[in-house]
């Protein structure tokens, strides 16, 4: 029986996903695996290097290579390549689709390689511009690490194109697992090389992880029948359409990534900038976990459906609001959990000997300010894709640019005028994220002729009220048991205490949302009751991702 269950489970994961629920389930499963490896990577780094300037410099050194990747590749893939490539497949134009993918890969690789060569040569100058508050020795270390990381990014381009191709064929499991193996490569690099090359072990791990990322996907790309036809012609069918669709998204990503780089600049002016950046990055990593798990997964799974319903606005509204409610239902209680249990969570995940108590407290405080806007950070993925599905990539660009500017202004005000600490940048980030999501929703509402506000507000009010009570249910056990029962200096006691508090809070949330007749609660309770029939539930959704029919 267990063997048969495993076999059927793997069969579901490896097959094409043709509806939102099964696609979101598979994406979430791979995100959980990837995040688990990511947290192991973070724990390894901090257990060896601590919340030190050295670790902070390594984290900062990855930002410019990632900026180039996001600017040149990610924008094209997320907003333009997959829709156009999928459209060709849907029309049976497989050869044109393959030629389009091959051409864009060659063009992207050439552009990235040229810019990477410039970065490699002038890495020291770029590092000075990005982190002017770092010392000369720190700048040199950052430049050397950047030169290593850039090689991994070149490989990562190939892996990302392979992922986009598989996702276009509605295969989500393999790209997700392959992405997780990127973290595995970094972990292997740290474990094997840290005693010999120190912090460079993580940079070499980036190269290994990117190589594994590519290697895992190649057999499956071959299985779906993709054939590489390298050309360098802008006249290739679909290339100009992709370029037309991608430029607003590319600019939008560029503005956001510029905000990320300027964040490093602001941190570099704080005392112990490397240490402060470790705290900022680690707090943001924890806050981003539910964003990736629920926000990215649901938005990614809903995107093909929203694209298909572009001409059927009533169906579009229904799909969008359903996805939005599902996202909020899952994200809000996790936000409350991170806000209330921030210190125990930071201690359990990052509490190595090298990660001292002051770093733990400051990371928890920074995490608390990030937690306030987790719902907004998650929803932006869905609302942006709502615009993309309507072939509007300019509106998110303009609004994102304005709110990124707001974040930078607030951050500079807090650091240079009020002389606040690292947590103030998290406040600036949260304020800008919430403003961003409010404005985006208002513009999308106008664009599609208005959502049904009464049902949306009613559902949101119920979920929010349940979340508030959940916060109290999380807080009371952690306070009482911490003071009266458990010695939380011991890890096992801290795990038990955190587990009891989390179970109490989340159980109350599920009960209250069921009591308030929140539709999403009934759906999840039904899933629990019918756990033995989970494969049928996932297969039974009526919301098909698209009309593409290809061999599995």
pLDDT in tens, 124-165: 999 999 999 999 999 999 999 999 999 999 999 999 999 989
Q: Please give the pLDDT value at position 213.
A: 96
For residues 338 and 382, give the distance between their C-alpha atoms in angstroms, rounded to a whole number.
22
Left (φ > 0), alpha (ψ -120 to 50) or beta: where does 517 sit? left
Residue holding tokens 């600490």? 421
> ∠ CA 139-145-146 to the nearest 5 degrees?
85
472-519 confidence digits (pLDDT tens): 999 988 888 776 666 667 788 888 889 999 999 999 999 999 999 998
Tokens of 23: 């696609």
Left (φ > 0), alpha (ψ -120 to 50) or beta: where does 225 sit? left
The secondary structure of 155-200 as a DSSP string is HHHHHHHHHHHHHHTT--HHHHHHHHHHHHHHHHHHHHHHHHHTTH
Rounded to the nearest 5°, which phi and psi values hold at 314?
Answer: -65, -40
For residues 28 and 176, give the distance between their C-alpha atoms in angstroms, rounded to a whole number.
9
Residue 550 exposure: Cα atoms within 13 Å on the Cβ side: 26
Does the pLDDT at position 532 exceed 50? no
For residues 296 and 27, give the distance between their C-alpha atoms in angstroms, rounded to a whole number.
9
Mean pLDDT of all residues in 444-459: 90
For residues 83 and 85, give the distance between their C-alpha atoms in angstroms, rounded to a whole number.
6
The secondary structure of 33-58 as a DSSP string is HHHHHHHHHHHHHHHHH-S-HHHHHH
Identify the CA nearest to 56 among candidates 254, 283, 253, 258: 283
Identify the CA nearest to 162 among candidates 145, 178, 146: 178
158-170 confidence digits (pLDDT tens): 999 999 899 888 7
Q: State the burial class of residue 67 (Cβ atoms within 10 Å of its Cβ: 0-12, 13-18, 19+).
A: buried
337-394 confidence digits (pLDDT tens): 999 999 999 999 998 778 889 999 999 999 999 999 999 999 999 999 899 888 887 8
Each domain of the chain, given as residue ranges in start order, spans 15-248
Facing residues of 19 across strands?
Answer: 544
For residues 473 and 79, give the distance between their C-alpha atoms in angstroms, rounded to a whole number.
41
Mean pLDDT of all residues in 428-456: 94
For residues 387 and 307, give the distance between their C-alpha atoms in angstroms, rounded to a whole number.
9
Higher pLDDT, 241 or 304: 241
> ∠ CA 163-169-173 to the nearest 5 degrees?
55
Residues 50 and 192 sit within 8 Å (Cβ to Cβ):
no
For residues 330 and 506, give the distance between their C-alpha atoms in angstroms, rounded to a whole number.
11
Does the pLDDT at position 448 exceed 60? yes
Facing residues of 544 across strands?
Answer: 19
Mean pLDDT of all residues in 198-206: 97
Residues 448 and 312 sit within 8 Å (Cβ to Cβ):
no
Does the pLDDT at position 210 exceed 70? yes
Kind and range of the H or E element at 457? helix 453-484
pTM of the predicted protein model: 0.87
Left (φ > 0), alpha (ψ -120 to 50) or beta: where does 279 sit? alpha
Residue 384 exposure: Cα atoms within 13 Å on the Cβ side: 26
Q: State the burial class of residue 112 (Cβ atoms within 10 Å of its Cβ: 0-12, 13-18, 19+).
A: buried
Facing residues of 84 across strands?
Answer: none
25-60 confidence digits (pLDDT tens): 777 788 889 889 999 999 999 999 999 999 999 999
Q: Please give the pLDDT value at position 300.
A: 77
Does the pLDDT at position 234 exceed 80? no
Residue holding tokens 């990736």? 292
Q: Please give the pLDDT value at position 231.
A: 77
Q: Please give the pLDDT value at position 432.
A: 97
> ∠ CA 77-265-361 to the nearest 5 degrees?
95
Strands, E assignment, 256-386: none
Mean pLDDT of all residues in 78-95: 80
The confidence band for 541, taking pLDDT boundaries of 50, 70 and 90, is: very low
The confidence band for 447, taking pLDDT boundaries of 50, 70 and 90, is: very high
Question: What SS3 class is residue 544?
Answer: strand
178-197 confidence digits (pLDDT tens): 989 999 999 999 999 999 99
For residues 385 and 390, give the distance between their C-alpha atoms in angstroms, rounded to a whole number.
8
Residue holding tokens 């806000």? 339
Identify the CA nearest to 444 among candidates 429, 456, 432: 456
Tokens of 344: 């125990």
Does the pLDDT at position 3 exceed 70? no
For residues 182 and 62, give the distance between their C-alpha atoms in angstroms, rounded to a whole number.
14
């Amino acid at each position: 029986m267990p063997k048969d269950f495993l076999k059927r489970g793997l069969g579901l994961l490896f097959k094409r996903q043709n509806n939102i629920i099964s696609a979101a389930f598979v994406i979430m499963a791979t995100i959980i695996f990837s995040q688990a490896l990511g947290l192991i990577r973070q724990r390894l780094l901090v257990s060896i290097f601590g919340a030190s300037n050295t670790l902070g410099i390594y984290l900062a050194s990855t930002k410019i290579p990632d900026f180039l990747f996001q600017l040149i590749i990610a924008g094209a893939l997320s907003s333009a390549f997959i829709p156009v490539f999928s459209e060709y497949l849907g029309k049976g134009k497989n050869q044109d689709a393959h030629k389009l993918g091959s051409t864009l890969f060659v063009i992207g690789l050439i552009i990235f390689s040229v810019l990477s060569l410039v970065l490699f040569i002038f890495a020291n100058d770029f590092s000075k511009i990005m982190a002017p508050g770092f010392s000369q020795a720190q700048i040199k270390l950052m430049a050397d690490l950047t030169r290593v990381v850039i090689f991994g990014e070149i490989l990562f381009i190939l892996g990302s194109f392979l992922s986009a191709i598989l996702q276009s064929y509605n295969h989500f499991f393999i790209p997700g697992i392959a992405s997780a193996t990127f973290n595995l490569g970094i972990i292997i690099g740290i474990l094997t090389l840290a005693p010999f090359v120190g912090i460079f072990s993580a940079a070499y791990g980036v190269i290994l992880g990117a190589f594994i990322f590519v290697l895992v996907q190649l057999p499956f790309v071959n299985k779906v029948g993709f054939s590489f036809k390298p050309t360098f012609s802008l006249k290739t069918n679909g290339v100009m359409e992709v370029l037309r669709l991608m430029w607003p998204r590319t600019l939008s990503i560029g503005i956001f990534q510029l905000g990320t780089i300027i964040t490093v600049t602001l941190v570099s002016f704080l005392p112990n900038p490397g240490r402060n950046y470790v705290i900022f990055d680690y707090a943001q990593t924890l806050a981003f976990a539910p964003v990736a798990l629920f926000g990215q997964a649901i938005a990614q799974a809903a995107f093909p459906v929203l694209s298909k319903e572009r001409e059927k606005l009533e169906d579009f509204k229904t799909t969008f609001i359903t996805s939005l409610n599902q996202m909020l239902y899952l994200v809000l209680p996790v936000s409350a959990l991170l806000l209330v249990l921030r210190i125990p969570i930071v201690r359990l995940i990052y509490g190595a000997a090298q990660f001292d108590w002051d770093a733990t407290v400051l990371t928890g405080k920074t995490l608390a300010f990030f937690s306030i806007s987790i719902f907004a950070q998650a929803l932006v993925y869905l609302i942006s894709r709502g615009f993309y599905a309507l072939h509007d990539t300019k509106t998110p660009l303009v609004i994102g640019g304005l709110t990124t500017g707001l974040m930078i202004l607030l951050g500079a005000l807090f650091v240079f005028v009020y002389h606040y600490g690292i947590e103030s940048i998290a406040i600036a980030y949260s304020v800008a994220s919430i403003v961003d999501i409010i404005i985006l929703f208002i513009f999308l509402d106008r664009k599609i002729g208005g959502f049904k506000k009464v049902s949306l507000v009613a559902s949101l009010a119920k979920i929010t009220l349940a979340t508030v009570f959940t916060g109290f249910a999380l807080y009371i056990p952690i306070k009482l048991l911490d003071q009266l029962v458990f010695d939380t200096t011991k890890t096992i006691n801290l795990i038990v205490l955190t587990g009891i508090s989390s179970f109490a809070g989340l159980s109350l949330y599920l009960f209250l949302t069921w009591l308030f007749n929140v539709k999403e609660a009934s759906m999840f309770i039904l899933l629990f009751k019918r756990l033995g029939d989970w494969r049928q539930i996932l297969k039974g959704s009526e919301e098909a991702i698209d009309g593409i029919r290809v061999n599995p």
